[in-house]
């Protein structure tokens, strides 16, 4: 018969990861669970942060994949145009996945395919005026929500955390994230 983990009473300043680590220390004291303290929390934070962010996108008639495409085009600057290969490399998705997103965004009137100057074979993707408006509004709202989520940390703490996460990302992947 397996024993059910007894949920330890909550200790102020501790979370479920702390309780899980305590359980593992009791069960397998020779195993280092320090990775859980960081990666487990990173996963939990990502899962907790997604619903309010995705609600912003939904309020603007977008899903997160569509928002990624619009935001990538918007941050590229005027004329808000990129080749499909530049887009799918930046978004880290397959060309087929990008095609589906582009078809939905084109149908919604948020992007269009325009022939490149001097190259009739290439069809860059560019934001329409409505695409620029909607992407700008959704991004501003998204960043406001993310800032509110981080409001429990001082500016210095946010900077330290960003620096440490960058270092961790480079350690894990060996390359800068989203390069």
What pLDDT does residue 120 have? Answer: 47
- Using DSSP, state whether 127 is helix, strand or coil: strand
- Residues with Cβ within 8 Å of 38's Cβ and at least 6 positions away in sequence, in order, are 168
pLDDT in tens, the chain (179 residues): 454 555 555 677 888 899 999 999 999 999 999 999 999 999 999 999 999 999 999 999 999 999 999 999 999 999 999 998 888 888 877 777 888 999 999 999 999 997 666 554 568 999 999 999 999 999 999 999 999 999 999 999 999 999 999 999 899 988 765 55
Residue from 24, 16, 37, 111 nearest 71 by CA: 111
- Using DSSP, state whether 15 is helix, strand or coil: coil
What pLDDT does residue 112 have? Answer: 96
Against a cut of 0.85, is the pTM above it? no
Residue 105 C-beta-side C-alpha neighbours within 13 Å: 31
64-75 and 95-107 helices, crossing angle to 10°:
90
- Using DSSP, state whether 123 is helix, strand or coil: coil
What pLDDT does residue 107 have? Answer: 97
What does CATH list as the number for 51-169? 1.10.10.10
Q: Under a CB-based contact definition with an 8 Å cutoff, are residues 92 and 118 in contact?
A: no
Q: Would you list the domain boundaries of the chain?
A: 51-169
Residue from 61, 68, 54, 55 nearest 107 by CA: 61
Structure tokens at 77: 């600057």
Q: Under a CB-based contact definition with an 8 Å cutoff, are residues 152 and 63 in contact?
A: no
What pLDDT does residue 1 have? Answer: 47
Q: Which residues pair with 119 in a beta bridge?
A: 116
What pLDDT does residue 6 have? Answer: 52
What pLDDT does residue 153 have? Answer: 96
């Amino acid at each position: 018969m397996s024993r059910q983990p007894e949920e330890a009473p909550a200790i102020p300043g501790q979370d479920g990861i702390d309780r899980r680590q305590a359980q593992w220390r009791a069960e397998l004291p020779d195993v280092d669970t320090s990775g859980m303290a960081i990666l487990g929390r990173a996963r939990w934070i990502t899962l907790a942060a997604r619903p309010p962010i995705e609600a912003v996108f939904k309020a603007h008639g977008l899903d997160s994949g569509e928002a990624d495409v619009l935001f990538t085009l918007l941050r590229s600057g005027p004329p808000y145009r990129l080749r499909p290969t530049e887009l799918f490399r930046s978004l880290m998705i397959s060309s087929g996945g990008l095609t589906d997103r582009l078809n939905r965004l084109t149908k919604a009137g948020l992007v269009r395919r325009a022939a490149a100057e001097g190259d009739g074979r290439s069809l860059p993707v560019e934001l329409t005026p409505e695409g620029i408006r909607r992407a700008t509004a959704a991004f501003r709202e998204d960043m406001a929500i993310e800032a509110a989520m981080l409001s429990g940390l001082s500016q210095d703490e946010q900077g330290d955390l960003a620096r440490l996460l960058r270092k961790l990302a480079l350690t894990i992947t060996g390359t800068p994230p989203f390069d």
